[in-house]
Structure 1
Amino acid sequence: MGYELKTKENDNNVTEFIDQIEKEKKREDAYQLLTIFEETTGLKAKMWGESIIGFGSYHYKYKTGHEGDAPLVGFSPRKSNFSLYFATGDPNREELLKKLGKHKAGKACVYINKLEDIDIDVLKEFIHQSLEFLRKTYPS
């Protein structure tokens, strides 16, 4: 996520954004994800850029001097799937991915097609773990 500097927190309306999702099933899953992320983080959803729904934020600074702000966790309902944003660099990430269910994992994102493909309890664990890892790694 760190390389997406154009992705800044803004005041766009999260529910208006979700309401624009054409496919009803995807829209329902997006609302369910919104609830899961809000309840698990205890943080209010904010739009980041045009299409990322983020929760909380942290300021990172790499050894290269590159720095910026990013959501602690988040998701984005893309056309073909959902992108879930968790902490990168977390040594426990692989363990949780094994238990998550049907997904594809990139460097920063975990991609799922629909909520019923994954274990919601593992998703919540992932959210908690990311928050903990980022708060330790980038104390404010």
Structure 2
Amino acid sequence: MHYQAKTVATGADVADFISASPRPADGAALCALMRRVSGLEPRMWGPSIVGFGARKYDLASGKQGETPAIGFAPRKASLVLYLKHAAGWDDRLARLGKHGVGKGCLYINKLADVDAGVLEDLVTAAWRETSPG
């Protein structure tokens, strides 16, 4: 059986996706933040993730998969940020404000719940951890 990743980069329009999402204002703000940090334009990954750059990861099969270097999904229940943990992660989270964490995910109900400067530090550290060079 051949493994086919569900989350692959697509040509879908990011602005259309964000404006139709349950959280258009927060989605637009996160997109602007990640664009500023990465210096890249966003791409849709699968039907619901806005991603910047790409990074490889190892699969149990010995093959490699690809995922956005940093990204987010403006879901109904919360904003989901996909960020690789970097040095100082726990320290920053302690200062972030109201949030939740999961495996490889940071959950925020709304951007107004968190410290914007700390969020930018988290995104910047994650980008530096995953971006080449």
Normalised to the residue count of structure 2, the TM-score between the two structures is: 0.88
Deviation at 1:132, TM superposition (A): 1.7
1:61 aligns with 2:54: no
Aligned CA RMSD, in angstroms, stands at 2.0
Q: Which residue of 2 aligns with 1:100?
A: 96
- In the TM superposition, structure 1's runs of 4+ consecutive aligned residues that sit over 4 Å from their partners are none
Segments of structure 1 that go 5 or more residues without pairing to the other structure are: none
Segments of structure 2 that go 5 or more residues without pairing to the other structure are: none
Deviation at 1:64, TM superposition (A): 5.5
Q: Distance in 1 between matches of 2:33 and 2:102?
A: 22
Deviation at 1:19, TM superposition (A): 1.7
Q: Secondary structure at the match of 1:127?
A: helix
Deviation at 1:131, TM superposition (A): 1.6
Deviation at 1:57, TM superposition (A): 0.5
Q: Which residue of 2 aligns with 1:125?
A: 121
1:45-68 residue CA offsets vs partner (Å, 9 max, x unmatched) = 100000000011112235751411
Normalised to the residue count of structure 1, the TM-score between the two structures is: 0.84
Query: 2:59–2:65: 8 Å Cα contact kept in structure 1?
Result: no
1:63-99 residue CA offsets vs partner (Å, 9 max, x unmatched) = 75141111111110111110011004x3432121111
